[in-house]
Chains A and B, each alone.
Chain A
Amino acid sequence: MIPPHQSPLDPAANRREFLRRGLQAGAAVALTGGLASLLWNRHPPGDFNREAASALLPDFSDKNAGPKMAIVTGQNRTAMVRRALEAMGGISRFIKRGDRVMLKVNAAFATPAILSATTHPELAAELVRLCLGAGAASVLVTDNPINDPESCFNLTGIGPAVRAAGAELVLPRAAQFAPGTLPGARLIRDWPILHEPFRGITKLIGVAPVKQHNRAGASMTMKNWYGLLGGRRNQFHQDINGIIVELAMLVRPTFVVLDGTASMMANGPTGGSLADLKPTQTLVVSTDGIAADAFGATLLDKTFRDLPYIAGATERGLGTADFASLNPVRAAV
């Protein structure tokens, strides 16, 4: 409260007072105008004229010299992956001290590990240990599964296993997805992509089992990237080959691990019975996911010609279907 005052008619005081208040009012007007011009925006969201922010993933592919593919036969996943990585030049070829690693597993279903519908927990845990052993600052494990994420990671055993191995489990939340438009893509346009957990990530590893897939023919390392999509992605099943090819364009991993220790030969991708499995006893590590999948097709008694997405990805120069041309290192444990 301004108290009553007694010298209102003093002209000099009045002038000073007026100047002060005038400056104050002018500053207020200027501040309002400045804020308004700062926030000035003629394009509301949904306006086609607005530049859409696009969340894409960086290129994680391995640029080091060395073998591009290793095929190891055996029964012990842990030993096989170690042997395969050794053949590729050791984990240290890929993971450097201080790297922040994202491990994309397949945890699509809340089914037990023994059914091989998901990445085997021992294999995931071993990869975590290898990365941490190579000096990685942290390892994140994630997937956006079809069933409830929490139960998927728990029931498959992946969650407890990787946590015990020292990794951080990322259960995707809606807020972590951001819409992305892949240049040259027909399907991945303004589509939610798991984005937030990739902040600061320097290396990306995909690890997936070999499965027959009723819609796509087979689900291996390429189809595994489906788990980075959000939204109502099941509509992509209207063009499954198209989306797998675009995923191969979107995701350039450091290397992938394809686990064909037990391959799901029928009723994929969920399986559900051990009768669906065949002990193919093979594990592949490759820097080229397309080559890995082309090899994986042979485990399912198919060839890459049975999987149109492999041809699609090859045409776009994303890898080779002729895995033999990579001279894969072969070993057994």
Chain B
Amino acid sequence: MKITTARRLTQIFFFTLFVWLCLAATVGPLWWQWRGWPIAWFLQLDPLVALGTVLTTHSFHPSLAWALVTIGLTILFGRVFCGFVCPFGALHQFVSWLGRLGGRPKDKMAANTYRPAQVIKYYVLLALLAAAAGNLLLTLVRASRDSTWIALVVAAVAVLALFWLTLRKVIASFRRAVLFGALLVLVWFGAAALLSVERLTLATLQIGWLDPIPLVYRSFNLVVLPATDLAVEKWFPSGRFYTGVGLIGALFVALVLLNLVVPRFFCRILCPLGALLGVIGRGTLWSIGKTGAKCTECALCDVDCEGACNPMGPIRVSECLMCMNCLDNCPSVRPIAYLPRPSSGGEISASGVTRRGFVATLIAGAAAVPLARLDGSTKSDWSPSLIRPPGSVAEEEFLARCLKCGECMRVCPTNVLQPSGFAHGWESVWTPVLNNRIGTSGCQLNCIACGHACPTAAIRPLTLDEKQGAGDFTEHGPVRIGLAYVDRGRCLPWAMERPCIVCEENCPVTPKAIYVSEIESTVRDGTFAIASIDGATVRVSGTPLTPGRFASGDYTCKLPDETRSRRIVANTADSLTLDTAPTAEEPPPPGALLEVQVRLQRPVIDPARCIGCGVCEHECPMTGLRAIRVTADNETRSANRSILLKGSR
């Protein structure tokens, strides 16, 4: 069997698996549902996810251990992840092939030649990692303040790294290089001592914008599946809606269509994961290369090259996607092979990143975060409408972990979890936020799906006990994601004196977080002159009533001189039927006035009980701007947003 056949089978296998994992991410035990499928497996395999979160959090989340497998494979066998595993790569390869079916070899070879623009992906990677690395820098500064020993090690490593990366090339003289290195160390300690590094060194995980795995998950979860379901009508009985899918979809479609301009445009030019694997696989043990056997230099190996790595000339090992097409195309007797040694045709290991570009990108990436945060959105100007799913870690940590992959939004059974738009700042774009107007309900009391779908614990995997504050977690109370408040200017019983207590009825918390304050109030123009009383039926004169208007059971009639109102059970245009007959010894004279009253139950929130689930907001009959709404106030994850004293709960 040819290795290219195996590769195609593998790509089909992984792509199908990926689509299956997206489809199966419906909470449930049926064969087509979540069951125990590792729905975020491709994200766990992604080394950029692992590296990014290690930089931002300084800790390695166990669920990401799969990335070590990918790294190991890359060190040994090169970018096999790109060529064999990546579902986005498979899609690009397929579309590129489709777009060039029947094309002339000459044109294909031109399209598959190395382009200088392929360096862009390394800059993308650098900028994204630099934005994620601020925290690490801070940790190093703090550690070197605390201990001279650590400071020396950090300085030594930094000098060596700098020397290895740039100095040996920038500065020819060894002596001057050492002096320059010493200067840098001084600058480091000077900065640490003089500058307020705490506020300058911040980290954000923004790899999700372009990391192919989160990107393809997001695109399939939020766009492709819901769009397909419009035609299939099978997966989502009540439809799936996501705010701002336009941009997510447009990015996805644009990246796919760009394959028609440049084959594997994304993989070659933009993909930061590819860049990372290229760096890791730089010294790969096995690689494609020339064996030294006689080569006619027919260039057929370059014709179908997926990575545009020029296998015929000096090969660019970092760009090679392990498509193995060159082996297939070669007409001669093994002048090109997959070998555990460097190509005899020579290798180009340089990525094309210039020293200036390297430094400038690092600085730009690292500086972007404190600049962005100058808007105060992670401090006092936090957005109250940014309601994070239950179990989410505190906001700055959340931005250090969230991949924007959309897994939580996909598994959320009620569709209440939505990708954030630009409204909550650019760092939050496509991160999960509750929107209680969309979907079938608010956050469900008995559901813990989002935390268990999240591969990086931006949303922690809660147990039901922890979420509800039961069992071992009684002391901590339930996880609150926000707090509902009643807009008394819009609420029917508060503002318009119409009975309605939908929010209280739907509050899922026990005891309910919404209780009612009851009053009886005379309705507008509710005073009528009595014409006659016959048993329980009171005839009235004057403006005709709307038949049945007072028959809902919420209306009562207060007869003159009676202290207690009687419930109205029916009404016609000129009569009211009461539940009991008036028993006054002397019936009120004709012309005496009665009052029609309405019993109003007005909702009041108990902040000690409300968990912010938003079911009330979802159910509120004021469908425009709801009369009861949830904000992120009082959410458990941020201590400084609580509104009640701990002891008073």
Contacts and interface: CB of A to CB of B under 8 A. Distances in A.
A298 interface: no
Interface in B328-353: 340-350
Q: Is the interface of B mostly helix, strand, loop or mixed?
A: loop
Contacts of B510: none
B199 interface: yes
B517 interface: no
Interface stretch (B23-31, B158-166, B176-184, B640-648): B640-648
B341 A25 contact: no
9 contacts: A6-B344, A9-B292, A17-B341, A21-B283, A25-B76, A29-B71, A32-B72, A32-B75, A235-B643
Contact of B292 (A1, A2, A8, A235): A8
A63 interface: no
Contacts of B647: 186-187, 239, 242
Interface string A159-197: 000000000000001010001000000110111100000
B135 interface: no
B207 interface: no
B397 A44 contact: yes
Given A45-B394, A235-B643, A239-B645, A25 B54 contact: no
Contact of B639 (A21, A187, A231): A231
B60 interface: yes
Contacts of B65: 36
A25 B61 contact: no
A3 interface: yes
A46 B637 contact: yes
A4 B314 contact: yes
A24 interface: yes
Interface in B187-204: 196, 198-199
B341 A21 contact: yes
B393 A44 contact: yes
Interface string A55-90: 000000000000000000000000000000000000
Interface in A1-38: 1-9, 14, 17-18, 21-22, 24-25, 28-29, 32-33, 35-38
SS class of chain A's interface: helix, strand, loop or mixed? Answer: mixed
A42 to B, nearest CB: 5
B477 to A, nearest CB: 11
B648 A239 contact: yes
Contacts of B476: 48
Given A21-B285, A39-B54, A235 B644 contact: yes
B501 interface: no
Interface in B453-511: 457-458, 460, 466, 473, 476
Given A9-B292, A46-B393, A175-B198, A236 B645 contact: yes
Given A25-B285, A187-B647, A239-B645, A41 B60 contact: yes
**Which of A38, A40, A45 lies at the interface centre, i.e. has the most chain B CB atoms within 10 A of its CB?**
A45
Given A29-B75, A47-B460, 10 more contacts: A1-B346, A3-B314, A5-B342, A7-B292, A29-B76, A45-B393, A45-B397, A46-B637, A231-B640, A239-B648
Contacts, number: 137
A8 B460 contact: no
Contacts of A239: 645, 647-648
Nearest to A179: B639
A47 B473 CA distance: 11
A40 B62 CA distance: 7
B437 interface: no
Residue with the highest number of chain B CB atoms closer than 10 Å, among A17, A32, A35: A32
Interface in B426-468: 457-458, 460, 466
B144 interface: no
B349 A189 contact: no
B62 A42 contact: yes
A25 B62 contact: no
Given A24-B283, A45-B393, A1 B350 contact: yes
A278 B60 CA distance: 63
A231 B379 CA distance: 12
B648 A238 contact: yes
A187 B645 contact: yes
B58 interface: yes
A18 B346 contact: no
Contact of B347 (A1, A18, A21): A1
B625 interface: no
A191 B76 contact: no
B404 interface: no
Nearest to B63: A42
A21 B340 contact: yes
Contacts of A33: 68
A236 B292 CA distance: 79
A278 to B, nearest CB: 33
B291 interface: yes
A1 B341 contact: no
B601 interface: no
Contacts of B291: 8-9
Interface string B345-363: 1111110000000000000
A167 B284 CA distance: 61
Contacts of B637: 46
B567 interface: no
B401 interface: yes
B59 interface: yes
A175 B396 CA distance: 14
Contacts of B466: 48
Nearest to A24: B283
Contacts of B648: 238-239
A40 B67 CA distance: 13
Interface string B583-605: 00000000000000000000000
A28 B71 CA distance: 9
A239 B57 CA distance: 36
Contacts of B60: 35-41
Given A40-B62, A239-B645, A46 B394 contact: yes
Contacts of B54: 35, 39
A22 B285 contact: yes
Given A25-B283, A29-B72, A39-B59, A46 B460 contact: yes
B638 to A, nearest CB: 9
A129 to B, nearest CB: 29
B68 A36 contact: yes
A186 B346 contact: no
A44 B342 contact: no
B74 to A, nearest CB: 10
A41 B61 contact: yes
Contacts of A37: 60
Interface in B52-107: 54, 57-62, 65, 68, 71-72, 75-76
A36 B71 CA distance: 12
Interface in A222-279: 231-232, 235-236, 238-239, 242
Most buried by A among B283, B458, B476: B283
A114 B187 CA distance: 47
A46 B480 CA distance: 13
